[in-house]
Each structure stands twice: as C-alpha cells, then as structure tokens.
Amino acid sequence: MNGKQSKAIVKKNHPLLAHFKRFYWLYVFLIPGLLSIYLFKLSPMYGLQLAFKDFSLAKGVWGSEWVGLEHFRTLFKSVNFLRVLKNSIVTSVLRLLWAFPFPIILALLLNEMKNEKYKRTIQTIVYLPHFISWVIVITMVTALLSKSEGVINTLIVACGGEKIDFLTSTKWFRPVLIASSIWKEAGWGTVIYMAALAGVDVQLYEAAMIDGANRWQRLLHITVPCILGTVTIMLIMKMGDILNNGFEQIWLLQNAPNKEIAEVLETYSYQVGLREGRFSFATAIGFFQSLVGMVMVFLSNFLSKRMGGNGLW
C-alpha cells in the first residue's frame, strides 16, 4: 500500500468528514437561521458605536465626532430616567411572574388531555393569536374594554355595576398589558414545553402507575422534574430581556392619562431619541438595555449552576 492510498483511506474514514457526510442536510437547514442571526443580530452591532459619538447624517458613522460616555451621562442625569427605568423594571418583573409560568401550565394541561382530537384543536386555537399583529390585538382590546362602547363595560352596567376606565387608568394599564400579552403569546410558548414533554420516557409513568402513584403525583414527581432543565434555560434567556418590554404593544396602549406608568425605555428611546433626531442618545439607551440584559444572563446562569441546575454553558 503506497502513501497516497493510505491517505485516501484515512480521509475517507475520518469521523468528522463522515459526520458531515451523514448529516449534511441538517447543516444546510441551518443556513437560513445563521443568515437571519447575522443580518438582524450581528450586523446591527456595527451601529453600537453611535452611542459613543455625536452622530451626524452628513459625516456618517465613522466621520462623526467621538464623545465617549457623554450620552450615558445625559441619560442617567435625565429627570425622567429613574421613572422610566422603574416602569421598565416593574413591568418586566410582572411579566416574569405572570406571563412566564403560563405557557408551562398550559403545556402541562394539554399534556394531560387523552383525547388527541380535542388536544390538537385546543393547541391550534391557543397558537393562532401569535400570528396576529399587535395592531389588531390592541384594536380588539379597545373594542372589549372601551369605557363608552366596550363589551366588558356593557356587561358590567347590565349587571348593575359602574363602568371602569380600563384604557386610560394607571391602575389598569399593567393588568391589561400583561393579560393581552399572555393571550397572544402563551400558546406559542407552549411549543417548547410540549416538545420537552414529548421526550419524557413513558416507562417512568408506567412504573409510577404500578407503584400506585395517581395522576397528580406523576405530574409532580415525573413530568415537572423532567422538563425542569428546559424551564431553567428558558428562564435564563428570559432574564436577558429583563428591561425589554417590547415597543409596539406598549406604544399602542399608551396615552396621556396613563403615560406616567406606561412609558418604558423603548417608548422613551423612540420619543426622545428618534422623534427628535437624537440617534446617538437612542443608541445609548439600547446599549444600556443590552448591557443589563447580558449581566442578568451571566448572573442567572451562574446562580443556576451553583444551585445544581442547568445552564446555558
């Protein structure tokens, strides 16, 4: 056997090459996702330097004057910053407490359904709102909760009660915000947990039934522990969005009477940064949000690993 033949055999039997040859279609399917990440996540990071420059459209990104941390100082000294930051934190925490567990509970309930026909029907119904735009959702919310002609207030009056100002009241802004968010996104969030539930070994349930465990005990001692790793990872990722409450939903629900608690960093950035042409200032706000999110991801991942749980790395 000559040298060329031995090299050809080694090359042919190389485990990495064999792996790519066997699963090359899976890597082909990764290409659209990787392109999406590059175009919408990595490429925009080029613009982060605007947070440290006095951006001018005439001079461009590279030609604009470097001002260092000036925009961050302006942000932190702003009379509205603490109020907006507080609103963002409170809204994020309420979302975390109410909206995060809802898909888990919904997935567990769907998993307990034995009739596959009803199960698929309910899954479809709860998934559909995800594909409706926030403009349509808020229009529906307005039709339901309007003080003058809203369906809910009409029913309240018919039952002998007084009309409630849901849409302009500071008391009701966050409940309406979180409830509409849950209705729209909870069904789609169950997809991940349903996939995790599908991977639970059926033999575990069979062994538990032989031991006399009822449905509630099987849920607590088998189902929940088996998806706990997925829940932990999703929670860590959610912590990265601790100051990101979304723009469109809040902007559409925001009005003059409830602006005191409705204004968050996204709407503040749009109002002060983009509407007034202060692009560098708006970038500084976004950079601050991203930095806080990164710190929260690292911190939550560290705490999860220290407590013996799963982590992202």
Tens-digit pLDDT profile for residues 104-163: 999 999 988 888 889 889 989 999 999 999 999 999 999 999 988 889 999 999 999 999
* pLDDT of 8 over the 60 cut: no
65, two tokens: 């004057």
Q: How confident is the model at residue 72 (pLDDT cuts 50, 70, 90)?
A: very high
10-65 tens-digit pLDDT = 445 568 888 888 888 888 999 999 999 999 888 888 888 999 999 888 888 888 89
**Which ranges in the chain are annotated with CATH 1.10.3720.10?**
51-134+189-306
| pLDDT value at residue 100 | 94
For residues 258 and 228, give the distance between their C-alpha atoms in angstroms, rounded to a whole number.
Answer: 38
Residue 53 CA to residue 20 CA, distance in Å, equals 45
- Do the beta carbons of residue 185 and residue 99 sit within 8 Å? yes
Domain at 51-134+189-306, CATH from 1.20.1250.20, 3.10.20.30, 1.10.3720.10, 1.10.287.3510: 1.10.3720.10
Residue 10, pLDDT score: 47
**Secondary structure percentages of the chain, helix, strand, coil, to 5:** 75, 0, 20
Within a 10 A sphere around the Cβ of 186, how many other Cβ atoms? 23
Residue 55: HSE in the Cβ half-sphere, 13 Å Cα cutoff:
20
pLDDT band at 267 (very low <50, low <70, confident <90, very high): very high
pLDDT at 2 over 70: no
Residue 6: pLDDT above 60? no
Backbone phi, psi, residue 30, to 5°? -75, -20
Contact 262, 270 (CB under 8 A): no
Whether the CB-CB separation of 135 and 184 falls below 8 Å is answered with: no
Count how many residues are written for the chain.
Answer: 313
Q: Mean pLDDT in the chain?
A: 89
Distance separating alpha carbons of residues 1 and 164, to the nearest angstrom: 89
Q: Is 219 helix (H, G, I), strand (E, B) or coil?
A: helix
> What confidence category does residue 309 fall into, taking pLDDT thresholds of 50, 70 and 90?
confident
CA gap 175, 126 in Å, rounded: 20
pTM listed for this prediction: 0.84
Q: How far is CA 264 from CA 82, 84, 162, 192, in A?
A: 10, 5, 31, 29
Q: How far is the C-alpha of 287 from the C-alpha of 296, rounded, in Å?
A: 14
Euclidean distance between CA atoms 20 and 13, whole angstroms = 12
For the ranges 18-27, 75-84, 210-219, 260-269, which has the lowest average pLDDT? 18-27
The pLDDT, as a whole number, for residue 193 is 94
DSSP 271-308: IIIITTT-HHHHHHHHHHHHHHHHHHHHHHHHHHHHTT
Report pLDDT for 167. Answer: 93
